[in-house]
Amino acid sequence: MSLGFEMAGFDVAVAVEIDPIHCLTHQYNFPQGAVLCRSAAEVTGAEIRQQLAQVLQGDRSQINPDRAGLIKSPELAQLPGLFKSPESPELPELPEIDVIFGGPPCQGFSMMGKRAFDDPRNALMFHFARLVQELQPKYFVIENVRGMTLGQHRQFLDELIELFATIGYQIEANYRVLNAAHFGVPQDRQRLFLLGARSGLPLPAYPAPITRRPALSKSAKRDNILGDLPRCPTVAEAIADLPNVDAYESLRESDWLATEHLGDPTSDYAQQLRGLLRDSADFSYPRSTTRSHLSGCLRTDHGATSIARFQATPWGEVDRISRFLKLHPDGICNTLRAGTPSNRGAFTSPRPIHPHHGRCITVREAARLHSYPDWFCFHGTKWHGMRQIGNSVPPLLARAVAAEVRSVLGNPPTQPERAIAPFDRAWLTYTMGQAADFYTVSRHAIAPRQRQTASPSS
């Protein structure tokens, strides 16, 4: 979402993320902003404003202050009434914040006679609302899974709209589920977006589709209502120019490949992601990264039996053993998923099978199918890289939403001239422990140790 909003003309100043690996990757790709490496439940609006002030002043020396010196928000159970904002330290006068956006996880959908916000697993959505109240942005955008709109889960959305109304914000009541394939992304991916505005400001509209799914898509018939819209890029148009990584021994250890090995792009989509063709709707900062190497190309060593089985699987069908889907070159990708975190086994989510090679797709091929430009780098470990992509909003989908927010703000975007240089590439190889030490946070931040409880007999 950070990249999509930047592409729409926004400056992304401060990010909040609990996972140290994700923090380093975000900071590598967006070095102009600050990163607070903690749960949103432990961050105050005052801290975000402190970071914003330092970013605007160009003071990078305290972008990541020591955890021990930060004010923590009160626990959810101790909040009296709805919210109580903490005392804010004296800060320089700052411009208004145009928009806060994010995708706070919500797993607490049990509706057995209690309000959804009583479930502690929904606390991050509560704290998102708290930060909106404390920071008073003009707009906010929430992204989440489509399942929140189904069945009893809709009660949660009704409560959320009611909650924001009590703090002076309106949400478009006719909330929408958007499909990335309708916005130029070669992936069938549906996500809910909630668009909110401070009372008195006009609500942004939802973006209208600009592409339809190709005829080979199982859901293509549903796109008949889209008329004569051009189809979205296909799998082949997205990745055909990328070389077969199995031909390079060096990619067993390194995920970087010289771009001289790339073929000729077969589509405008691939040319734009490679930076060979200008996208007139892209207002992101140019990156002064070297274009001599492409990241995310680390190989996966499959056994001979698996390779033969993958090669024999027909396009668009599922391998009978692994249950991996084999991509059709003239179709689009199924929804890319993140896999489980380390406290749930650190399992990689099933990756699609390449349409022409007997292997799963690489992180870079997944990035192409997610609409990430080639300059954007992910962590060098496949598990980290794939969960970073699977957990993220496709940039072109985020840009479409962000452009609607930008339009109601009234100031047209401008093309920046200043190039941004990334930080140390070594960050993309850090272990979880090294990343946690970098941010001075617990190495168990995303996999807390379980507290031992006494047995009834003790």
- Mean per-residue pLDDT, 1-18: 96
Residue 408: per-residue pLDDT? 97
284-298, pLDDT tens digit by residue? 999 877 678 899 999
Question: DSSP state, 187?
Answer: B
Q: The CATH number of the domain where 194 resides is what?
A: 3.40.50.150
- Mean per-residue pLDDT, 440-444: 90
Does the pLDDT at position 456 exceed 50? no
Residue 18: per-residue pLDDT? 93
- Mean per-residue pLDDT, 213-227: 79
- Mean pLDDT across the chain: 85
> The pTM is what?
0.89
Q: Is 266 inside any structural domain?
A: no
CA nearest 97: which of 173, 5, 183? 5
CA nearest 110: which of 68, 156, 64, 70? 156
> pLDDT band for position 106 (50/70/90)?
low
**How many other CB atoms sit within 10 Å of the CB of residue 295?**
23
386-412, pLDDT tens digit by residue? 999 999 999 999 999 999 999 999 988
- Bridge partners of residue 170, in order along the sequence: 197
Residue 155: per-residue pLDDT? 80
Q: Is 454 inside any structural domain?
A: no
343-379, pLDDT tens digit by residue? 555 556 789 999 999 999 999 999 999 999 999 999 9
Q: How many CA atoms lie within 13 A of 60 on its CB side?
A: 6
258-268, pLDDT tens digit by residue? 999 999 998 99
> pLDDT band for position 447 (50/70/90)?
low
> pLDDT band for position 26 (50/70/90)?
very high
Residue 440 tokens, joined: 């001075």
Residue 454: per-residue pLDDT? 43
- Mean per-residue pLDDT, 1-16: 96
> pLDDT band for position 66 (50/70/90)?
very low
Q: How many angstroms separate the Cα of 72 from the Cα of each of 39, 68, 84, 131, 420?
A: 10, 10, 13, 13, 32
The bridge status of strand 257-258 relative to strand 169-171 is unpaired
Residue 63: per-residue pLDDT? 37
CA nearest 102: which of 143, 159, 148? 143
Q: Is 326 inside any structural domain?
A: no
Sign of the dihedral through C-alpha 49, 55, 58, 63: positive
Q: Is 359 inside any structural domain?
A: no
- Mean per-residue pLDDT, 189-203: 96
Residue 297: per-residue pLDDT? 97
- Mean per-residue pLDDT, 226-230: 87
Specify whether the CB–CB gap between 99 and 405 falls below 8 A.
yes
Residue 445: per-residue pLDDT? 76
Residue 79: per-residue pLDDT? 35
Q: Is 246 inside any structural domain?
A: no
Using CA atoms, how far apart are residues 154 and 140, in angstroms rounded to an integer? 20
- What is the three-class DSSP state of 223? helix
Phi and psi torsions of 404, nearest 5°: -70, -40
DSSP element (H, E) containing 141: strand 139-145
CA nearest 287: which of 381, 367, 377? 377
Q: Is 320 inside any structural domain?
A: no
115-168, pLDDT tens digit by residue? 455 556 667 888 999 999 999 999 999 998 887 787 777 888 888 899 999 999
Using CA atoms, how far apart are residues 107 and 144, in angstroms rounded to an integer? 11
Number of compact structural domains in the chain: 1
Q: Is 264 inside any structural domain?
A: no
Residue 291: per-residue pLDDT? 74
Residue 85: per-residue pLDDT? 46
Q: Is 17 inside any structural domain?
A: yes
What residue numbers bound the domain in which 221 lies?
Answer: 2-229+394-438
Specify whether the CB–CB gap between 206 and 178 falls below 8 A.
yes
Using CA atoms, how far apart are residues 440 and 420, in angstroms rounded to an integer? 26
Catalytic residues: 106
Q: How many angstroms separate the Cα of 360 from the Cα of each of 171, 185, 295, 328, 348?
A: 41, 20, 17, 13, 12
Residue 75: per-residue pLDDT? 35
